[in-house]
Structure 1
């Protein structure tokens, strides 16, 4: 890598909080279920989310806890195989301490989507890049062929809950566990290995979420570079944010939850440019 840049100490970046839903707001957004994803709900290590004027990344504020898609599927094992963490993984080195010094990780959330996921997969194949897909269980059940394609191309499949409800940490312990368990079941049923990574909707974490993830043998993962592509801020904005990546960063993008054409257009130039800078893409 030319002019290698040492991994900088991670400095938490302030992140806007989740929107406080009113009954009227919930009803209108439920009607536009896939309008946008995934504004973060936290600052690194922050506590309870507070209201914000920012739009949410929720698929539906009133998403069902136990949708029919998971009915009849085997319940995943709830034997804890990892210790519950007090914070999620924010950088590559947090999870992969022996990763190359020039490693970065691309994570792609909220799919699979029949329009955008195949295009993202083709782009990753073109540049020989492996990524980590945080998939929503209801979408995985609807598009099993895409889950199989993601896994067949060597990408990691992570659990992103069954229906992407928000604010996730405000659900009951039972609802949190059901969301995670149902997604785990349909992802395996769709043909992918049982996920060992979990990403909370909007990056909304709590002790109950950490415990539930650990209960099903998963490590919680977050991100370090957020171009807010879910909000469709324009291709130049997304490109600029992603190109500012440093060694060790986890990049957040989306292939589901709405119109992801800007994300796709940005990745077309960003992926070869980051490789040209000497970065090595790794899966988490």
Structure 2
């Protein structure tokens, strides 16, 4: 029996756009962590400052996650070749799935820590995100770019109610549910499949995709909450600019995009940090 590595069958179109694509969670969290490092809560006392640092460290933990290693073999010395192929593919599947789930857990911890600092009245995360979303007045349908698509795609995995209003808050609720299912042992454990021709094929594409998109929804929720806090004046950014390294595409006022390869204020970058840089324009 042989093993075959196949591309995941679940790759939303907003991740493959030539420009203005949604960044992968590991890149998204890196940029969000960098932004938080250059910002600070400006109201309250030592307890609030400590809470802000605590939330930041949870983001740093999510940002620092690189790999999760699994070995699903029994290692009993008597494994046949077929069983060895199965366990090797299963190990790779578990590594990818659990990598996204572990990151999702860290992001939920960061979210709840930020909620406690920014909404000390005891609001729960979905309610806090809904309040932030209601407070802001984004020019593009009231939401950051791609959030509608992320929420709608995540709903295909969580079996959310069809026709429900699309919002960052609803995406947040779905993301929390993905984490809850795994944390409480309710999520099914995917296993590789056999195509009948002595070939072991990886599976679990839907589970992996759900965990990945839930992480993006969680990040977008934190991002929106920080934007509302900055608009309210409870969070301020330092007087430093974000250097865009090799540049990136950003939305323009005509619903298109433009290439920027210079510095921009961190306050402006908050609305863009979830976008993949993209390839520079041809000269």
Larger radius of gyration, structure 1 or 2? Answer: 2
TM-score by structure 2 length? Answer: 0.26
TM-score, structure 1 as length reference: 0.26
- Which structure features the higher share of helix residues? 2
